[in-house]
Amino acid sequence: MCAIEYYTYEDYKKWKGRWELIDGIPLAMAPAPLLLISILLCKYLFNLINNLKTVPNASF
C-alpha cells in the first residue's frame, strides 16, 4: 500500500507551472484553450442551436 503525501498551501505557493491543490493533493491543470478555438466553438454552437430551432418539435 502506498502512502499518499499531502501538501499545504505553503508548498503550493512555491511550485512553478499550472497546478491546483485539492484536499492536499496536487493536480496538474490543463492548458487554457486558445482564443481562436473558443471563438470558433461559440460560432459553431450558435449555428447549431439556430439550425436546431428549425427542426419540428425541438424545444430550445
Q: Does residue 59 form part of some domain?
A: no
Q: Does residue 33 form part of some domain?
A: yes
Angstrom distance (rounded) from CA 31 to CA 40: 18
- pLDDT tens-digit readout, 24-37: 999 999 888 899 99
* SS3 call for 20: strand
Q: How many domains does the chain have?
A: 1
State the residue range of the domain holding 41: 9-52
Q: Does residue 41 form part of some domain?
A: yes
pLDDT for position 25 = 92
The candidate with the shortest Cα–Cα distance to 7, out of 21, 27, 28, 18, is 21
Q: Does residue 17 form part of some domain?
A: yes
Q: Model confidence at 59, in pLDDT bands (50, 70, 90)?
A: low
Residue 7: CB atoms within 10 A of its CB come to: 15
Angstrom distance (rounded) from CA 19 to CA 36: 24
pTM of the model: 0.47
